[in-house]
């Protein structure tokens, strides 16, 4: 669950990290209350907001109104700007980078900091980057900050503030079940204060049951992806025209890959997961058809999920809502013969191997 900048900053503030005073601009009326110069920022989850014109400095209500109207109409990284956040413009002397992420290989939180921030982390020079793993059972020990201080070479009055902010960011990272807390830039102001210029916070989806305040944040999902999420179906829309449905994340990815090798392009990633409920299959299939594929490619390896369970659900879905979209089904494993019979009777195209199924799906799609 990614948080928008203003939501991320609200969480930072909860943990005592200084953030600029800001307000979410929802209607033209609230623009008159701004203190100028101000900065208006598009609230979208994708990066590159500045380049796309989503961040503008304004000096009057009239300028703010014009900027607000311009930003609200923008599409950045494929997503329409629905919200604009206004802040007092910061008088920045230096931009620092600070983040906590999870290092899979080390199985530990990773602290990263650099005295030159403000640009995307991958563009920052590696030589200037301080990185350190934090033992989860111990937290950030003082020696880590001593090491960070000597690496970053910041003046004492700045480093004291940076360290206090880092300690609070780590507390947030752990207590809020965050996968990422990134403050970039962490701004050193001309008056000497250090404040969070931006905030990227991602909360672990698996922990939302104990972080209910972050539930329901708008994600960068399509309407169908949102519907799938509400129904508990693992579903993504891709840019091809062949609807792919399989069971298991790895197998669904492999099905898309084989389709790609055979000259097709998947339009959906639909992972049925392990289910023994035909109703869930029926719902998933309806969702798949809503994505308007030209052909459906189904690949089921039955183990926990019985092949005939899936076949029943699919047949039910096709009876509810007859479709002319051809369905190619490769179905293997427990109760395979029965499943194939059901699917053939329902007018689907059975295939024995994944390659065969992918080739057939590409053929049935016809020329694009």
Partner 1 sequence: MSVLLDRQTKVIVQGITGHQGQFHANAMRAFGTQVVGGVTPGKGGTEIDGFPVFGSVREAVDATAATASTIFVPAPYAKDAAVEAIEAGIRLLAIITERVPVHDCLDLMPYARAKGCTIIGPNCPGIATAGEAKMGIMPNHLFKPGRVGLISRSGTLTYEIVNELTMAGVGQSTCIGIGGDPIIGTNMVEALDLFDRDPDTDAVVLVGEIGGTAEEEAAAKAKTMRKKVVAYVAGRTAPPGKKMGHAGAIVLRGRGTAESKQRAFEAAGVRVAAYPREVPTLLRGA
Contact set with partner 1 (CB under 8 A): 102, 104-105, 107-109, 120-122, 135-137, 174, 177, 179, 204-207, 209-210, 234, 236, 238-239, 246-254, 256-261, 265-266, 269, 271, 274, 301, 303-304, 332-334, 353-355
Residue 80 C-beta: closest distance to partner 1, Å? 17
Catalytic residue (one of 5, 95, 182, 225) = 182
Return the number of the residue (51 or 210) whose C-beta is nearest partner 1: 210
CA 91 to chain CA centroid, nearest Å: 31
Catalytic residue (one of 97, 163, 170, 176) = 97
| Annotated catalytic residue 182 | yes
Residue 245 C-beta: closest distance to partner 1, Å? 12
Rounded to whole angstroms, the Cα distance separating 166 from 301 reads 47
Q: How many helices (H) and strands (E) does the chain have?
A: 10, 18
Residue 173 C-beta: closest distance to partner 1, Å? 9
Return the number of the residue (136 or 347) whose C-beta is nearest partner 1: 136
| Annotated catalytic residue 126 | no
Return the number of the residue (63 or 356) whose C-beta is nearest partner 1: 356
- Alpha carbon distance, N-terminus to C-terminus of the chain: 36
259, 301 contact by CB (below 8 A): no
Return the number of the residue (206 or 324) whose C-beta is nearest partner 1: 206
Return the number of the residue (196 or 307) whose C-beta is nearest partner 1: 307
Residue 155 C-beta: closest distance to partner 1, Å? 31
| Percent of the chain that is helix, strand, coil (3-state, to 5) | 40, 25, 35
CA 179 to chain CA centroid, nearest Å: 11
Place of tokens 């953030």: 19
Residue 178 C-beta: closest distance to partner 1, Å? 8
CB atoms under 10 Å from CB of 196, counted, come to 23
Rounded to whole angstroms, the Cα distance separating 258 from 61 reads 56
Rounded to whole angstroms, the Cα distance separating 305 from 276 reads 6
Return the active site residues: 97, 182
């Amino acid at each position: 669950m990614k948080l928008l900048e203003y939501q991320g900053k609200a969480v930072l503030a909860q943990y005592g990290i200084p953030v600029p005073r800001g307000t979410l601009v929802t209607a033209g009326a609230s623009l008159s209350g701004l203190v100028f110069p101000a900065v208006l920022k598009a609230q979208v989850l994708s990066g590159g907001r500045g380049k796309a014109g989503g961040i503008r400095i304004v000096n009057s209500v009239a300028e703010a109104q014009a900027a607000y109207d311009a930003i609200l109409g923008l599409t950045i990284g494929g997503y329409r700007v629905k919200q604009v956040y206004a802040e007092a413009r910061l008088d920045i002397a230096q931009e620092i980078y600070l983040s906590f992420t999870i290092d899979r290989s080390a199985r530990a939180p990773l602290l990263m900091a650099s005295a030159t921030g403000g640009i995307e982390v991958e563009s920052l020079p590696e030589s200037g980057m301080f990185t350190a793993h934090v033992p989860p059972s111990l937290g950030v020990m003082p020696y880590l900050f001593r090491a960070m201080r000597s690496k970053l070479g910041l003046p004492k009055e700045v480093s004291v503030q940076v360290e206090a902010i880092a300690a609070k960011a780590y507390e947030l990272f752990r207590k809020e079940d965050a996968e990422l807390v990134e403050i970039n830039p962490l701004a050193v102001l001309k008056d000497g204060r250090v404040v969070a210029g931006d905030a990227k916070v991602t909360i672990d989806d698996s922990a939302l049951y104990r972080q209910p305040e972050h539930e329901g944040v708008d994600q960068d999902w399509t309407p169908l992806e949102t519907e799938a999420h509400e129904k508990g179906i693992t579903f993504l829309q891709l840019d091809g025209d062949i609807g792919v449905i399989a069971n298991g994340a790895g197998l669904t990815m492999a099905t898309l890959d084989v389709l790609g090798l055979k000259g097709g392009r998947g339009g959906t990633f639909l992972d049925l997961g392990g289910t023994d409920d035909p109703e869930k299959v029926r719902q998933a299939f309806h969702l798949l058809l809503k994505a308007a594929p030209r052909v459906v490619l189904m690949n089921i390896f039955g183990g926990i999920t019985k092949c005939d369970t899936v076949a029943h659900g699919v047949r039910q879905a096709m009876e509810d809502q007859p479709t002319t979209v051809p369905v190619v089904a490769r179905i293997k494993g427990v109760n395979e013969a029965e499943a194939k019979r059901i699917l053939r009777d329902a007018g689907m195209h059975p295939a024995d191997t994944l390659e065969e199924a992918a080739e057939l799906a590409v053929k049935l799609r016809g020329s694009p």
